[in-house]
């Protein structure tokens, strides 16, 4: 007998028929003698719909009230799934985040899980109940409900698996695994049998939404093997685990992120300490900076450009504008009509030709590169947003669709 955590995303629980399908998977696992903890997301587009509803009423609602609202989405799907399982004749109980022992930080809208106390879940399992838990939520030290940030149910599932030392953590979704690119956009994308935590973390951070990046970070930290699989096809999925040398792929995938904006501070005096002053200012305000580019100094000045998440753009421009005079720069310009396209692969470390192949693919597709950043296992380029799909297709074709591969 094993302890199995199964997480189902919004599309897997979107209506009664899908809930019935999920109930079949869950009860099938239970019937085989396993303890089953199920984590669910809100049904279909419920979270987006709730956000729209709130914005109709108040353009700028408080984050606390938003969390009060959004946590309702998961409450609905958890109780409905429990009723579906009940209807099949199995013992089941649904629990909200606080009932399931999720303590989080106070940051409404992007809370971090501090601790999971699984006592209640254990007590229910010992009564041979199937336990359904709401993903994406917890409770903070003020006894307020919090949410974990979009896509956060994956992290809820991994946190339960870690706190209970589960034998298996399955992430069921609407595709049957992790692919070399988004299979909905790139029909030639290939399913990966296995991918390392590090590569999956990069792909998730760089835009492959199939797993939330925090969930991968946590899985790596607590050595939880994940399986990403479809709730509809029952095909074997993709295993996310610690890498072994044998499995090192040259490139494991291509990802696209449109949630990005470029900011440039123009005419910064060309002397030591100014980059430090700009970026420490941003760090103080919790703005995550990604790609950074500094031009060569000419006539005593240089330009410093960097990318930030789109929703941090306005605050960053304001911050930089208020700072331009202090540092003696001339202006701040921005562009949010950009996208970041990246390749990820643990094998690129030891293969020098990868960057040139990527840039050749972009050249052949007539895509201009604005900025480049690299690490040991990834290369990212910033390009015009309208070129993004074409760029992903060209890069994917170069690395995965050549004859003989
Ligand atoms: P869920 O609601 O189950 O959490 P998500 O919509 O968050 O599902 O994630 C699944 C989606 O991720 C897929 O429908 C797919 O379009 C997208 N996706 C993006 N990149 C990839 C990739 N490399 N492999 C698989 N799916 C990907
Ligand atoms: N329902 C939440 C969202 O849409 C959490 C999740 O789906 O993981 O972001
Ligand atoms: Mg998701």
Q: What CA–CA distance (Å, rounded) separates 177 from 190?
A: 9
Sequence-separated (6 or more) residues with CB below 8 Å from residue 286 = none
Q: What topology does CATH give the domain 3-174?
A: Carbamate kinase (3.40.1160)
pLDDT at 326: 87
Q: Compute the distance from residue 162 Cα to the ligand 2 centre, in Å.
A: 20
Architecture of the CATH domain 261-335? 2-Layer Sandwich (3.30)
Q: What CA–CA distance (Å, rounded) separates 385 from 392?
A: 11
Q: What CA–CA distance (Å, rounded) separates 317 from 48?
A: 27
**Which residues sit with their C-beta closer than 6 Å to ligand 2?**
9-10, 41-42, 47, 73, 135-136, 150-153
| Cα distance between the two ends of the chain | 41
Domain boundaries defined on the chain: 3-174, 261-335
Q: What CA–CA distance (Å, rounded) separates 173 from 11?
A: 7
Query: Partners of 13 in the beta sheet?
Result: none
pLDDT at 246: 58
Report the residue among 13, 182, 202 best suited for mutation to probe ligand 1: largest number of ligand atoms under 8 A from its CB: 182
Residues 262, 265, 267, 273, CA torsion sign: negative
Angle at 133 between CA 108 and CA 230, to 5 degrees: 105
Atom of ligand 1 nearest to the CA of 203: 23
Phi/psi region, residue 139 (left: phi>0; alpha: psi -120 to 50; beta: rest), is beta
Q: What CA–CA distance (Å, rounded) separates 181 from 178?
A: 8
Flag residues of the chain having pLDDT under 70: 245-248, 403-405
Among 64, 18, 22, CA closest to 44: 18
Task: Copy the structure tokens of residue 324.
Answer: 């331009």
Q: Compute the distance from residue 206 Cα to the ligand 1 centre, in Å.
A: 13
Q: What CA–CA distance (Å, rounded) separates 378 from 343?
A: 6
pLDDT at 114: 97
Q: Are 133 and 100 in contact (CB under 8 A)?
A: yes
Q: What is the pLDDT of residues 233-250, one digit of tens each?
A: 989 999 999 987 655 678
Q: Compute the distance from residue 204 Cα to the ligand 1 centre, in Å.
A: 10
Q: Are 399 and 343 in contact (CB under 8 A)?
A: yes
């Amino acid at each position: 007998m094993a302890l199995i955590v199964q997480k189902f995303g919004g599309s897997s629980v979107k209506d009664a028929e899908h809930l019935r399908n999920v109930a079949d998977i869950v009860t099938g696992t239970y019937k085989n003698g396993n303890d089953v903890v199920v984590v669910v997301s809100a049904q279909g587009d419920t979270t987006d719909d709730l956000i729209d509803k709130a914005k109709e009423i108040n353009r700028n609602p408080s984050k606390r009230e938003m969390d009060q609202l959004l946590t309702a989405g998961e409450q609905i799907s958890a109780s409905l799934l429990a009723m579906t399982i009940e209807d099949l004749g199995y013992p089941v109980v649904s629990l909200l985040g606080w009932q399931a022992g999720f303590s989080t930080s106070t940051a409404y809208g992007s809370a971090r899980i501090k601790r999971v106390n699984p006592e209640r879940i254990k007590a229910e399992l010992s009564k041979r109940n199937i336990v359904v838990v709401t993903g994406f939520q917890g409770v903070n030290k003020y006894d307020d409900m919090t949410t974990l940030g979009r896509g956060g149910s994956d992290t809820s599932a991994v946190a339960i698996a870690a706190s209970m030392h589960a034998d298996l953590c399955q992430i069921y979704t609407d595709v049957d695994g992790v692919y070399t690119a988004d299979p909905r956009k790139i029909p030639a994308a290939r399913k990966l049998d296995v991918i390392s935590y590090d590569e999956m973390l990069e792909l998730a951070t760089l835009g492959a939404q199939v797993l939330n990046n925090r969930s991968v970070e946590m899985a790596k930290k607590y050595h939880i093997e994940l399986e990403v699989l479809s709730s509809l096809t029952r095909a074997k999925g993709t295993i996310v685990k610690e890498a072994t040398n044998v499995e090192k792929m040259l490139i494991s995938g291509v990802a696209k992120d449109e949630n990005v904006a470029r900011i440039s501070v123009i005419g910064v005096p060309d002397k030591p300490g100014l980059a430090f002053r700009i970026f420490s200012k941003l760090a103080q305000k919790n703005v995550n900076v990604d790609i950074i580019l500094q031009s060569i100094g000419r006539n005593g000045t240089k330009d410093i450009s960097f990318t930030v998440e789109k929703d941090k753009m306005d605050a960053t421009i304001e911050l930089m504008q208020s700072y331009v005079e202090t540092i003696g720069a001339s202006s701040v310009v921005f562009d949010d009509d950009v996208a970041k396209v990246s390749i990820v692969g643990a094998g690129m470390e030891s293969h020098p030709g990868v960057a040139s192949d990527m840039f050749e693919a972009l050249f052949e597709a007539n895509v201009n590169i604005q900025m480049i950043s690299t690490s040991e296992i990834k290369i990212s380029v910033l390009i015009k947003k309208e070129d993004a799909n074409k760029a992903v297709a060209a890069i994917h074709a170069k690395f995965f669709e050549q004859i003989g591969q």
